Amino acid sequence: MIKACIFDLDGVIVDTAKYHFIAWRRLANSLGFDFTEADNEKLKGVSRMESLDLILQWGGVEADADTRLELADRKNNWYVEYISAMHPDEILPGVLDFLAELRERNIQIGLGSASKNARTIIHCLDLDQAFECIIDGNKHTKSKPDPEVFLLAAEALGISPAQAIVFEDAAKGVDAALNGGFYAVGVGSPDVLGHAHFVIPGFDGLHFNDILQGIGLLAHE
Ligand code: B16
Ligand code: MG
């Protein structure tokens, strides 16, 4: 029986990928190279320092540890400036109705994000009261596909992985959920997320029973 749903943040609750892209691109441009939105796809769900390493690799730039920290900070300051201007109308379509339905059905709601800025984003979206637990990039150290972030969320909610559904937009995030023994629902394209138990394009018009049916926990009518 499903007792909880654990949500990734960026790409599931809100599209912050566009702000990451603008900030990383600004950094790349300041270092004399550019990268595309297609490259940016590869950064979804990837931690800040790992994202920086990939970008520097794409630009053929080498940097020592202190410089890398300084570059990551510079990008983050721009990123925080962008996300601080976000409003609740940027919550992705259908998310609020879906969360309300979960509450009505007494399903616990958790957040499992790689982002160290998750609380700032949640606050700007007016979602401070929406999650019973928030596990963000400050509370875990192992990057997805390691399941640590979702296992910590399950522990905080007092449930086992088999009792929870993880919603993820990144292939590595789906891997993390599966590695932890959770049900995984991909939010996006089946081309990228086909290894999840079920894939949805988004939450618009979606009900919890659609999810239960999709993952095989509700008999087809
Ligand atoms: P920050 P998620 C991830 O969030 C993003 O998808 C990824 O692009 C970003 O690099 C990572 O958070 C770290 O973010 O720099 O804010 O700590 O999808 O796991 O919610
Ligand atoms: Mg994500």
| Residue 11 CB–ligand 1 contact under 6 Å | yes
Residue with tokens 């996300």: 83
| Residue 40 CB–ligand 1 contact under 6 Å | no
The percentage of the chain sitting over the pLDDT mark of 70, rounded to a whole number, equals 99
Atom of ligand 1 nearest to the CA of 51: 10
Question: Is the pLDDT assigned to residue 19 strictly greater than 60?
Answer: yes
Taking alpha carbons only, the member of 213, 211, 191 closest to residue 200 is 211
Name the pTM for this structure: 0.95
Is the CB of residue 197 less than 8 Å from the CB of residue 36?
no
Higher pLDDT among residues 221 and 194, named by residue:
194
- Res. 6 pLDDT band, cuts 50 70 90: very high
Residue with tokens 């919603």: 167
Domain with CATH 1.10.150.240 in the chain: 17-83
Rounded to the nearest integer, the mean pLDDT of the chain is 96
Cα distance between residue 21 and residue 38, in whole Å = 10
CATH fold group of domain 17-83: DNA polymerase; domain 1 (1.10.150)
Q: How many beta carbons lie within 10 A of that of residue 93, not counting itself? A: 12
Active-site residue flag, 53? no
Atom of ligand 1 nearest to the CA of 17: 8
91 backbone dihedrals φ, ψ, rounded to 5°: -60, 135
- Distance from the CA of 218 to the center of ligand 1, in angstroms? 33
Average pLDDT of the residues in 92-110: 98
pLDDT of residue 218: 84
Q: How would CATH label the architecture of 4-15+90-214?
A: 3-Layer(aba) Sandwich (3.40)
Question: Is the pLDDT assigned to residue 187 strictly greater than 80?
Answer: yes
